[in-house]
Amino acid sequence: MDRIRRQVLQAIDGEVSVYRLIDSQDSSLPEFFELLQAMEKEGLIAVKGGKVSLREKGVKLKRLASADVECRCCRGTGYMIRGFFEDVMKQYINIARERPEAIEVYDQGFISPEDVMRRLEFVYERGDLPTKIFVVGDDDLFSIAASLTGIPDKITVVEIDERLVNFINRKADEYGLNVEAVTYDVQQAFPDEYRKKYDVLVTDPVETIPGLKLFLSRGVSTLKGRGCSGYFGITTLEASRKKWYEIQRMIYDMGFVITDIRRKFSVYPSESKNFFRFQEKLPIVSKLGAAVDWDWYTSSLFRIESVKEPKPLVEGEMIIDEKVYKDEESWATPY
């Protein structure tokens, strides 16, 4: 944890929100909370009312005044939104403002419109947009954004929440979009009609190992074969390095290599319809005893590509209920 300790020290400039500190480091939430307590006990920092400051001992350990090194134009993602994609974003925002609210029963949450566009630009740059795309769960309404470009051949969404399914289909009819959504729970046996019909998988899976295995397996089942690709987001906040190891092993076992990992590519904004509206039910908020005042929940974007016939790790029905959404690292998941 020495590296994480250095990240925390580097980020403290005067009095800093504890949630901004979470955003400045890349350990899991349980690990961060344990470190914060240890640093306070050691006399390195002071924590009060959700704010953190350095004590004299901590100042001596800090080797450089806090430096803002992230690109302000693209938020460190490497992608600017302009021209064609800026026009698409305006249409997307107009549609997305009517989206259903995130509900806790499905551990829902969505990334910002800007980050939806950056993900779309990334998919486009990799040559994966003019294809048949399969989306497993679409809290972000990526299918709407992608279809607004008019580039994909076809987009199919499977989603457990009937409200989202109805919303996507209604907007597809209203705007003449090439997207279809159907109701489906990843725990149920996968429909044969979607197997080996698509080129690209897009999903934002839950971050338990059983849940990840289900989401990725269902998506992988739809891919045609070698050379197909997948995109999904994973945090470090609810997925420790040990869990990342298991995730990467799953990816290799399914016949894929990781071509890209874009750190902190997506931000989940604390807006009225997002999951922060029930923040009092998030374990990390309860443990810190302070209201959220910073957009701290970010995820890294993975791109994977099949080097042999894609092999889902789960076939048939697999009912795991709450274990889909929660494990000992799920500190940003409502309890």
Structural domain contains residue 19 = yes
Distance, CA of 304 to CA of 255 (rounded, Å): 10
Q: 91 and 23 in one domain?
A: no
Distance CA(234)–CA(260), nearest Å, equals 13
Q: What is the pLDDT of residue 321?
A: 82
Report yes or no on 322 lying in a domain: no
219 shares its domain with 112: yes
User: Among residues 105, 146, 147, 164, which one has the least CA distance to residue 231?
Assistant: 146
Do 42 and 106 lie in one domain? The reply is no
161 in a structural domain? yes
Round to whole Å and give the CA distance between 5 and 7: 5
* Pair 294, 178 in one domain: yes
Q: Which residues pair with 299 in a beta bridge?
A: 266
The number of folded domains in the chain is 2
**Tens of pLDDT along 83-116?**
999 999 999 999 999 999 999 888 899 999 999 9
On whether both 11 and 139 belong to a single domain, the answer is no
Q: Are residues 13 and 103 in the same domain?
A: no
Residues 123 and 207 in one domain: yes
Residue 125 belongs to a domain: yes
**5 vs 38, 65, 113, 212, 240, CA distance in Å?**
10, 15, 32, 29, 16
Kindly give the parts of the chain with pLDDT less than 50: none
Residue 215 lies in a domain: yes
Q: Under a CB-based contact definition with an 8 Å cutoff, are residues 227 and 200 in contact?
A: no
- State whether 198 and 229 are in the same domain: yes
Residue 170 lies in a domain: yes
Same domain, 14 and 112: no
Shared-domain flag, residues 206 and 116: yes
CB 102 within 8 A of CB 110: yes
Closest CA to 26 of 10, 40, 41: 10
Residue 148 sits in the same domain as residue 286: yes
What is the value of pTM for the model shown? 0.96
The residue segments making up the domain with residue 310 are: 84-314
CATH number of the domain encompassing residue 92: 3.40.50.150
Cα-based distances in Å from 39 to 61, 108, 162, 329: 12, 33, 46, 21
Q: Is residue 96 a part of any domain in this protein?
A: yes
Domain of 55, CATH number, reads: 1.10.10.10
Do 21 and 165 share a structural domain? no
Residue 326, domain member (yes or no): no
CA distance 335 to 324: 13
